[in-house]
Structure 1
Amino acid sequence: MTEPKTHTLEVPGAVLQYDVREGAGDGEPPLLMIGSPMDATGFVSLAARFPERTVVTYDPRGTGRSARTDATVPSPPIHADDLSRVIAAVGGGPVDVFASSGGAVNALALAAHHPGAVRTVVAHEPPLLTLLPDRERALAAVGHIRRVYERDGLGAGMACFIALTSIQGEIPADFAELPMPDPAAFGFPPGDDGSRDDPLLGQNLITCTHYEPDFEALRAAPARVVFGVGVESAGQLTYRAAVAAAERLGAEPVEFPGGHAGFLGGEYGVQGDPDGFAAVLRRVLGQG
């Protein structure tokens, strides 16, 4: 695999940056690795485990190097349109996609609304809170996090977010009244710097968690959709959402090593199991 080459792509409302790592060549289509709001820096370790494949990573609009050029808050369908343009720019589809978290939500929109762009989507723990039996409480908790962020800033908002995503099982109705952890416990500085431009809390939190996939379109699409879960995140929100989504398609989720970020190999200070993760991903992609 070669060193990544960075490209710029102007799209309506944004200027996207994406990277192409040319593989040794195995006759397979490009493999996109996408997150949201995680940008391309989160896939360095996993991409290195696929030297035979051409791997494409990118920064979603409003994140990392990809700047928004208008005030439109990006939704999963907008991200899907961006992804379809990136796919066209690297030679067209169908491609394979590994998608993490919010990126998995966007990949489902891509597969549903851009048939022919995707061969296989591996959607790892998409936060589709609309599919949960406790959806009203989960969505209310997300709304509370957004209000805390708007009122008190990044540290307080992230402490609430981490508290929510750490819950095992259904979300309590009184989540907003529960004591929240100290932001300093997670390395966030004290106080409020006044900024409200965080890609997660200010941009993706609501649009991503409130999205409802078009399962009818997904069933009709030519793409194969596989949902992944981390063995260490059993019972947590994104694990439960992935299981619920798989059930809607009449499938069983595939277990991957680690938790929600099990593919990381030191990025952001998180050490997952990229070797084990890549082995499962390679096996899943080979089943198509």
Structure 2
Amino acid sequence: MAGTETRTLTADGATLTYDTRGGVTDGDVLFLVGSPMDASGFATLASHFTDRTVVTYDPRGVSRSPRTDGAAETSVEEHAADLGQVIEALGAGPVDVFASSGGAVNALALVERHGELVRTLVAHEPPTAQVVPDREVMLAVCADIHATYLRDGLGPAMAKFIAVTSRKGPFPATWADEPTPSPADFGLPTEDDGSRDDPLLGQNMRHCTGYRPDFAALRAARTRVVIAAGQESEGEFAARAATAVAERLGTELVVFPSHHGGFLGGEFGQHGAPEPFAKTLRHTLDTHR
């Protein structure tokens, strides 16, 4: 992105790379967070906030933020510590955070521990299986995706992941008896290339979906926590989890335009509704400033 300054910092077990767009000003920082999505996924959304300092980063183990400890998986607590370290390095006081998907889980964990670093958190579709009514089934489904990746590689595991995340409604206890989706149906590779370095399926899958939020800590934090879900996502796993988190916090779920990636404007070949999404985000942030 034009006018972007890239910085790095050393964390425990990783080198973190983050970008600042615009001069860092106290009280005016908007941190856009994903996981495992890296900073490039927020290019369109950031373009709608030229009046603010926008910060993006690559989570550990992704793109420009390599792990230095050789670990195969990353815990939510590690991601949360990384977010805190980036915010502290900015030296701008509490920041506003928009966090998507796994990034929303990690940001909730940050607020549980260091609410003083975040003024408002908008957590968009945090996919934690611990809060949905079909908890045990969803934990087993997510564990199966991870096991499929380790056993069979990217194609079969990603086919399962797509089928799971796009499915509407709770999963039945008989889910394992259902036909297995074919990688070819999604244009995915059918041959295993032997690699096992995918950050979604290998590094983050089990810890992200298995994280249990500390609702007492979230309610006690000075941070204003807003839970959001896409209008088109209703009934899908991440949106169901968002609804359950909002209910446990005793807050109203905020419905954003589009779907799980509603802020995307062509990044990764995917399109949401970035302009109305950005307007909703701005309104949500301004309402709670």
User: Normalised by the size of structure 1, how large is the TM-score?
Assistant: 0.96
1:102 Cα offset (Å): 0.2
The gaps in structure 1 that reach 5 residues or longer are none
Aligned equivalents of 1:89 and 1:37: distance in 2?
21
Q: 2:33 maps to which residue? A: 34
Aligned equivalents of 2:271 and 2:133: distance in 1?
32
Name the amino acid aligned to 2:166.
Answer: S
1:287 Cα offset (Å): 1.2
Structure 2 counterparts to residues 209-288 of structure 1, below 5 A? 209-288=209-288
Q: 1:145 maps to which residue? A: 145
Q: Between 271-280 and 184-193, report the one with greater CA deviation.
A: 184-193
1:23 Cα offset (Å): 6.0
Q: Is the 8 A contact 2:154 2:189 kept in 1?
A: no
Aligned equivalents of 1:185 and 1:22: distance in 2?
43
Name the amino acid aligned to 2:33.
Answer: I
1:276 Cα offset (Å): 0.4
Structure 1 stretches of 4+ with a deviation exceeding 4 A read: none
Q: Percent identity?
A: 57
Name the amino acid aligned to 1:31.
Answer: L
Q: 2:42 maps to which residue? A: 43
The gaps in structure 2 that reach 5 residues or longer are none
What root-mean-square deviation, in Å, do the aligned CA atoms of Structure 1 and Structure 2 show?
A: 1.5
Aligned equivalents of 2:24 and 2:242: distance in 1?
33
Name the amino acid aligned to 2:248.
Answer: R
Report how many residues are paired: 287
Q: Is the 8 A contact 2:17 2:58 kept in 1?
A: yes
**Secondary structure, counterpart of 1:286 in structure 2:** helix
Aligned equivalents of 2:4 and 2:117: distance in 1?
22
**Secondary structure, counterpart of 2:287 in structure 1:** coil
**Secondary structure, counterpart of 1:68 in structure 2:** coil
1:192 Cα offset (Å): 0.2
Q: 1:169 maps to which residue? A: 169
Structure 2 counterparts to residues 182-221 of structure 1, below 5 A? 182-221=182-221
Name the amino acid aligned to 1:55.
Answer: V
Q: Is the 8 A contact 1:129 1:209 kept in 2?
A: yes
1:24 Cα offset (Å): 10
1:187 Cα offset (Å): 2.5
Over 3 Å counting, the alpha-carbon distance change for 1:205 and 1:271 in structure 2 is same
Name the amino acid aligned to 2:77.
Answer: P
Structure 2 counterparts to residues 11-90 of structure 1, below 5 A? 11-22=11-22, 28-72=27-71, 73-90=73-90
Name the amino acid aligned to 1:205.
Answer: M
Matched, 1:125 2:115: no
Aligned equivalents of 1:229 and 1:20: distance in 2?
26
User: Normalised by the size of structure 2, how large is the TM-score?
Assistant: 0.96
